[in-house]
Structure 1
Amino acid sequence: MSQSCSIKKCTRASRWLCDCCQQNLCLQHLNEHNASLISQLNPLTDEINALEYRLKTLDIQKPIVHSRQKLEEWRDDCHQKIDSFFEQKCQELDQLVNEKVDQQREELNRINLQITELIHAQETTPQDIDLLRSTIRQLKTNMKKIEQTCFTIDIHPLLIDETLVFINKKIERELDLSTLSPAYSIIPRSEGSFPSLTNNDRYLLMHQKPNLCFFDYEMNMVKQVLWSYGSIHDMCWSSALDRFIVLGKNNIYLVNDYTMTIDNVHTIEERHWGSCTCSDTILFASTNECPSSVLEFTLLPAIQLIREWKYPVTCTKDQCIADTVYNDGYLALLVMSESTKSVRMELRNAKTLDPMWAIKLDTMCLQKVAFRCCAITFNEWLIVDYETERLVQITKDGKIKKTVQYDSTPCRAVLFDLNTLAVLTVDDARLHTVQ
């Protein structure tokens, strides 16, 4: 006797046992099941196309620009050392010749003075004349020797030891926030600057009124461009676009760190943006309201709205999303409650927004300032607690790993390198090492 279809309320006879889900399905539900699986291929095709476009437009020099710069600095330093050594040996040669010449000059001056004295006295002897002639002959001989001087220089080839330069791929290590060093570089913030901070593999980007400023790994400002587009709510980096994304109040801007141009690429007047983050293919932007929404935009070929996640999926009615950070297929949300003043961090699946875990922080959001977080190594997270002036390290499974007290009020933090943490405070921006 044939089995009935496994789908609830379906009375048709089973026609097939599905290998993937081990369900007995009728012909209609088998076709629907197959169509559902096929429909999941289209988004995968879009992602593959986006990755293919990135590969075609990939500039292989960009990932190595910082390392290449260090090699060039090493080369320049070596050239300077070789030039210095060369000048030293040239001076030694000059000194050897000059010593002989100086001796001859002294002897010439002595003989010239002696002849002058004899002429002045109008008195001399044959012996004086013979001695002077003998001395002059010796001077001529010495001069000839100087003119014919030949030096033997033993030069050994410069041997380059391969161990002088090691090129190793950086290995991601699990960080321990308790090893946070004192700030080794500090840049004061200009008054009226917006508290936003982000980075790519070349620069740290922050607002220094009236400019957007680009800083290198030593906190040297290398570029700046005038920002005249109003408030900045958040910033992030898109590797797919090779651009920085800046959220204004209602607008989305792209900043090119090569041409130093700023383009307004999207405007939604009825939206007030709160935070943004990027995956390889999607821009996520949360709204600055209660309850908050999370909007998804395609990055390529153009920034276009494709989906909006709303209450109650995102949060409850009295809650707003203070920050969104993407990392490795997951979306971290910092959610603040207006009624209870509580703050929690949630980790969601970036495609479905299904919750993975949540953790409530032992702090209160009493000021009207958004809590922020950033991704660090090993899929861990760092929360910036401006209320209690702390940095909180969260494990990948949602547990508090380390908490350190900060010596100023922190607003933002980003991992600038595998062991370099940039922290934006109310007064300045700082670089720390963390092991």
Structure 2
Amino acid sequence: MPQPCVIDGCKYTSRVLCHCCNKNLCLEHLKWHDESIDSEINPLVDDINTLTDQLIKLNIEELTDNSREKLNQWRDDCHMMINKYYEKKCQELNQHYIQRIDSLQIEIDQIRSKMMKFICEQNITIDDLETLKLNISDVKRKLIQIKIKPMEIDFHPLIINENLISIEEPKLYELDLLKLSKAYRKFECTDESWPAMANNDRVLLIDQYPNISLLDRDLKTIKQSSWSYGFIRSMCWSSILSSFIVINNEKEIFLIKDNSLSIERISMTEEHYWWSCTCSDTSIFLTNAIMGTNIFEFNLLSSFQLVKRWKPPLSCKKNEYIDDITYNNGTLALIIKVSSNNIVLLELRSSTTLDRIWSLQLGIKRNWFQQTIRCCSIKYDEWLVIEGNTSHIFHILNNGTIKAMGKYKPSPVNAVLFGSNILAIRTKMNLFFYRL
């Protein structure tokens, strides 16, 4: 039995079945249907032509500019490392010659002393004279060796591993909290260590009581030094000082060089029990361990001179406590505990004015005896919040909304983004590395 035409209002019965869309149409509307389909291709032609024009106009230099800056920085850092190593070996070379010359000078002084003794006593024998001649001849021989025979230097070629730099296609979202069960590296931590850790692009500094340790991207310990300056509350990396900054529970702040782990106590104009720290390019931001927390900004280029001090209600309210502070791209992320209603907030502020950009209430109940709630920045100006009391990790987008929330076992106590594609999560007993 003939089917009616599917076009609304048409009184004719269908004469054909359109195979491309499986619709029954009369002859009149078949032509209209065909023309309407043909008409939709014209905008598509315009779109593809526009895309072709845009593709032709793409500038490779502009596209690679940001990545090339990172490569240039890596090259400069490598040159700096090579130059430091070269200077070290030059100093060693000088020291070898200084030691040889000093040793020869001691021999000359000893011979001179014996000669003066013989002259004063006028009691020299033929044997004594021969001995002096032999000693002088030996000194002459050694001096000639110093002049004409250089130190032997054994060189090993500098081998470049092709895996030092990897270039990969970007991903829209590189972090999936549901896939954090597959760590590719695991490092055992001492159970008396505090969870503080900080990193630059090359190394990660962790508290490994009774030591502090530098780890590379394969979780290998490349440097370790004893630490006897109290509990480490927080640490951060300063690129302009090429050093880590560490605060303890004794109102003290330390500068730690990343190549030698040399420790230098910093003299500050302000003295407080510090709780958390973070660095921008030119400043360090510190919070003190009190209700109604203050935020201090010190200039890294002028011997840690105080720049600003924000007090309640600008820093937080008098009944609030800042548990952690993290800098990223001109902003400060604050973990704030509210005593009046036991809620926990993540707030993003301007690092220059402390104006609030957004505020997010997290599904965490404040507990004064819980571990510090930590926050770290990740790619695309997004954030991770680590809450060990309930084993939760929150992934926060740059607009202040929660992208994902998941549980992590064993309970996490801290996390940092190591380089651009490694997430390091620390628990009480272990440190795990994840590829993003």
TM-score bucket (shorter structure): 0.5 to 0.7
Secondary structure at 1:266 match in 2 = coil
Name the counterpart of 2:176. 177
* Cα drift, residue 269 of structure 1: 7.4
Asked which structure has the greater CA Rg, the reply is 1
Give runs of aligned pairs for residues 252-271 of structure 1, distance below 5 A.
252-267=253-268, 270-271=271-272
Q: Which runs of 5+ in 1 are unaligned?
A: 1-57, 67-163
In 1, the alpha carbon distance for the partners of 2:417 and 2:80 equals 18
* Cα drift, residue 195 of structure 1: 1.5
In 1, the alpha carbon distance for the partners of 2:370 and 2:409 equals 21
Name the counterpart of 2:298. 297
Cα 1:167–1:295 change in 2 (3 A) is closer
Cα 1:189–1:65 change in 2 (3 A) is farther
Kindly provide the amino acid, as one letter, of the partner of residue 381 in structure 2: N
Kindly provide the amino acid, as one letter, of the partner of residue 374 in structure 2: R
Name the counterpart of 1:40. none
Give runs of aligned pairs for residues 309-328 of structure 1, distance below 5 A.
309-328=310-329
* Cα drift, residue 233 of structure 1: 0.9
Secondary structure at 2:232 match in 1 = coil
In 1, the alpha carbon distance for the partners of 2:327 and 2:353 equals 13
Kindly provide the amino acid, as one letter, of the partner of residue 376 in structure 1: I
Contact 1:365 1:387 in 2 (8 A): no
* Cα drift, residue 65 of structure 1: 9.4
Contact 1:181 1:433 in 2 (8 A): no
Q: Which runs of 5+ in 2 are unaligned?
A: 1-72, 82-161
Kindly provide the amino acid, as one letter, of the partner of residue 351 in structure 1: T
Give runs of aligned pairs for residues 206-285 of structure 1, distance below 5 A.
206-249=206-249, 250-267=251-268, 270-285=271-286
Secondary structure at 2:246 match in 1 = strand
Measured on the aligned residues, the alpha-carbon RMSD in Å equals: 2.3
Contact 1:204 1:214 in 2 (8 A): yes
Secondary structure at 1:378 match in 2 = helix
TM-score (norm 1): 0.61
In 2, the alpha carbon distance for the partners of 1:326 and 1:64 equals 28
Contact 1:364 1:387 in 2 (8 A): no
Give runs of aligned pairs for residues 11-410 of structure 1, distance below 5 A.
60-62=75-77, 173=171, 174-178=173-177, 179-249=179-249, 250-267=251-268, 270-366=271-367, 367-410=369-412
Count of aligned pairs: 280
Q: Which has the higher contact order (CA 8 A, sep 6+)?
A: 1
Cα 1:270–1:165 change in 2 (3 A) is closer
Name the counterpart of 1:413. 415
Secondary structure at 1:237 match in 2 = strand
Contact 1:172 1:378 in 2 (8 A): no
* Cα drift, residue 167 of structure 1: 6.1
Contact 1:390 1:403 in 2 (8 A): yes
Name the counterpart of 2:56. none
Name the counterpart of 1:158. none
* Cα drift, residue 259 of structure 1: 2.5
Secondary structure at 2:380 match in 1 = helix
Cα 1:65–1:215 change in 2 (3 A) is farther
In 2, the alpha carbon distance for the partners of 1:432 and 1:167 equals 18
Name the counterpart of 1:151. none
* Cα drift, residue 417 of structure 1: 2.7
In 1, the alpha carbon distance for the partners of 2:74 and 2:166 equals 20
CA offsets, 1:232-262, max 9 Å, x none? 1100000011000001221111000223210
Cα 1:234–1:354 change in 2 (3 A) is same
Name the counterpart of 2:121. none
In 2, the alpha carbon distance for the partners of 1:326 and 1:269 equals 21
In 1, the alpha carbon distance for the partners of 2:365 and 2:282 equals 35
Name the counterpart of 1:20. none
In 2, the alpha carbon distance for the partners of 1:427 and 1:364 equals 25
In 2, the alpha carbon distance for the partners of 1:370 and 1:417 equals 24
Contact 2:200 2:419 in 1 (8 A): no
In 2, the alpha carbon distance for the partners of 1:168 and 1:182 equals 21
* Cα drift, residue 180 of structure 1: 3.0
Kindly provide the amino acid, as one letter, of the partner of residue 294 in structure 2: S
* Cα drift, residue 181 of structure 1: 4.7
In 2, the alpha carbon distance for the partners of 1:322 and 1:431 equals 25
Cα 1:63–1:325 change in 2 (3 A) is farther
Identity fraction in percent: 35
Cα 1:223–1:309 change in 2 (3 A) is same
In 1, the alpha carbon distance for the partners of 2:291 and 2:189 equals 31
Kindly provide the amino acid, as one letter, of the partner of residue 392 in structure 2: R
